[in-house]
Structure formats: C-alpha cells, structure tokens
Amino acid sequence: MVITAKLLPGIEINGFLSAILVAVVLAFLNAVVKPILTILTIPITFFTMGLFLLAINAFIIIIADKLIDEFYVRSFWWALLFSFILSITTGLLNAVFGNQDPNNKDQNP
C-alpha cells in the first residue's frame, strides 16, 4: 500500500504508522461497510458485470480518507486507480503466498 501511494501522486500517506492505520481502517470498512454497499447495489453491479465493485472500493478508500488525517486522496479517480492497483496486488500476493497450509485438502497436489 505504501509503495502504491508513493507511485500515485494523488494519494498521500504520511508515515509508516499512518499506513498501518490506513490498512486497519480499510480492513474494518471492507468487513463492515462493503458488504452492505454490495447488497444495496446488486442491480447496478449485475448490470455492469461486477465493475461497479471497483467504484465501491473507491468509495471505501474515500471514507478512509475522511476518517484518517494522515491519509489523503485527491479525487474519486485517484481512489479508483488506487483501488484497482491494490486489488491486483492483493490478488497476485494471494496467488503466490495464498493458502500455504500443508494439511489443507482443498489444494491440488
């Protein structure tokens, strides 16, 4: 997240502790607010074939921006780009370092 914020001029995180706070707040918002927004926007999400979920992620990032003083997002479009890059990065990291439990029966041999 810190590297992504450094690469995007429209996103600012002031300090490592602030980045940890942003991660905690984003995790909380993703666990509590995102499911509610997703359920409320099922028709538009269906119509856009799931692409509206990126907009929901951007709204979650904007909410985090309003809650944390050390986190700054310049506009919705920067939040959307940040959300997109963060989603790709998280997906890649999950693919590489995902479920490493050797006792898990769901993994292919």
pLDDT of residue 106: 58
Report the predicted TM-score, pTM, of the whole model to 2 decimal places. Answer: 0.82
Residue 2: what pLDDT? 80
How many C-alpha atoms does 37 have within 13 Å on its Cβ side? Answer: 16
Note the pLDDT tens digit of each residue in 12-24. 999 889 999 999 9
Q: Which helix (H) or strand (E) holds 11?
A: strand 11-13
Q: How far is CA 30 from the centre of its chain?
A: 8
3-state secondary structure of 71: strand
